[in-house]
Structure 1
């Protein structure tokens, strides 16, 4: 890990890699459900990950059989803080939007219309 963490603005591609590694989606407000990003040398993603390692936002682990020989990158606490810093606050949802979000979390096997009519 880098000795010093750089806190300047994150390029969009690097921010997306951090969000993907943490499993928090494009908006950055979903609950984190992982902490890894696998990529091999020679690609743009690997270059971005190496830049994040140099900035102290990720750590690199050598590839193995599970990763298909590609390198494994994990987000550091500084990387998590950088994602939070570069993520705008969630927007306020209307009542209808909140109801639709509840439907998306509901696992009842019904359509949205059926859900609205009380199929709970």
Structure 2
């Protein structure tokens, strides 16, 4: 007999984890995408009650709205909030060899097409992935 149950919707704790991950610039697996620590929402916003619950739990702090935030409250993750996000984020899925290679290409952000990147030798790929080499001659494609 086929399972006809409705798909599970994320519970309140799942939404709180998503808010902490977004606040800290993490992906859904807790890996850093960008360096940040802020979340802006105001009373009446869909995430405001979740953020207030995180403040009560000691996982976030709240600063009242100001002109810079458009009058909305500014929330920041605390040390405990960072630890919570790290502890409760799931492990990333296991990637195949091809998926890992493509992820390396994306991480390198070399300016090369995937085909060009594949044709480059391993030492060239490593140097393309190293941002400190962008100052070297011949690295016009670095941003």
- TM class by smaller structure: 0.7 to 0.9
Structure 2, unpaired ranges of 5+? 1-10, 125-143
Q: In the alignment, what sits opposite 1:49?
A: 51
What is the TM-score when the length of structure 2 is the normalising length? 0.70
How big is the shift at 1:93?
3.2
Cα distance in structure 1, aligned partners of 2:33 and 2:115: 27
Aligned residues: 112
Q: In the alignment, what sits opposite 1:118?
A: 120
Give the number of the structure with larger relative contact order, counting CA–CA contacts within 8 Å between residues 6 or more apart. Answer: 1
Structure 1, unpaired ranges of 5+? 1-8
Secondary structure of the residue that 1:116 maps to in structure 2?
A: helix
What is the TM-score when the length of structure 1 is the normalising length? 0.82
Q: How large is the Cα RMSD of the aligned pairs?
A: 2.0
Secondary structure of the residue that 1:66 maps to in structure 2?
A: helix
Secondary structure of the residue that 2:15 maps to in structure 1?
A: helix
Correspondence 1:72 to 2:74: yes
1:29-108 paired onto structure 2 within 5 Å: 29-30=31-32, 33-108=35-110
Cα distance in structure 2, aligned partners of 1:108 and 1:18: 30
Cα distance in structure 2, aligned partners of 1:87 and 1:26: 7
Q: In the alignment, what sits opposite 1:6?
A: none
Cα distance in structure 2, aligned partners of 1:13 and 1:94: 29
Cα distance in structure 1, aligned partners of 2:55 and 2:39: 12
Cα distance in structure 2, aligned partners of 1:114 and 1:31: 25
Secondary structure of the residue that 1:74 maps to in structure 2?
A: strand
